[in-house]
């Protein structure tokens, strides 16, 4: 896998998958920063979306992973931040495509929507896939402007 660092965050609805993904990252020797939440106690997902995105924008990490109940709230919150391209993925094809074509820097997952094994496969593929550039870069430039 590429040599990079990942920020990971969740709300209470994604806490269990956050813990599973952290174990996966450890097993692959991928450096990470856990920005919380640190329990299943009810909390507000925008707080953790912002923390992960700030780590990316400050260049402390290269990518981020956000988990909530559906992944939708995290995706909406993250995409409000300039420079973030967050993608909600519920299948491996989308995980590969969003890296290759959209150069997504944040992966969003819904704990209540997909199984844990699929979530880990999505993370694995998303982390391994490089941006293709070329004609896709023109489109990223249009989004950024």
DSSP H helical ranges for 4-86: 15-27, 45-57, 72-79
| Active-site residue, selected from the candidate residues 43, 53, 89, 101 | 101
> pLDDT-based confidence at 109, cuts 50/70/90?
very high
Task: Tell me which of 53, 68, 89, 108 is the catalytic residue.
Answer: 68
- Domain membership of residue 114 as a residue range: 5-144
Write down the pTM of the prediction: 0.96
The yes-or-no answer on residue 68 being catalytic is yes
- Mean pLDDT computed over every residue of the chain: 96
Residue 54: give its domain's CATH number: 3.40.1400.10
For this structure, is 136 an active site residue?
no
pLDDT of 37-62, one tens digit each? 999 999 999 999 999 999 999 999 99
């Amino acid at each position: 896998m590429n040599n990079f660092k990942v920020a990971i965050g969740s709300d209470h609805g994604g806490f269990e998958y956050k813990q599973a993904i952290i174990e996966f990252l450890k097993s692959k020797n991928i450096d990470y920063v856990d920005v919380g939440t640190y329990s299943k106690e009810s909390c507000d997902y925008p707080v953790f979306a912002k923390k992960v995105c700030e780590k990316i924008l400050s260049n402390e990490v290269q990518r981020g992973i956000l988990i909530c109940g559906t992944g939708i709230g995290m995706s909406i919150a993250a995409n409000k931040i300039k420079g973030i391209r967050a993608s909600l993925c519920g299948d491996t094809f989308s995980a590969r495509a969003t890296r290759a074509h959209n150069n997504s820097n944040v992966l969003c997952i819904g704990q209540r929507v997909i199984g844990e094994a699929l979530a880990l496969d999505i993370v694995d593929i998303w982390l391994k896939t490089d941006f293709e550039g070329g004609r896709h870069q023109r489109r990223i430039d249009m989004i950024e402007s």
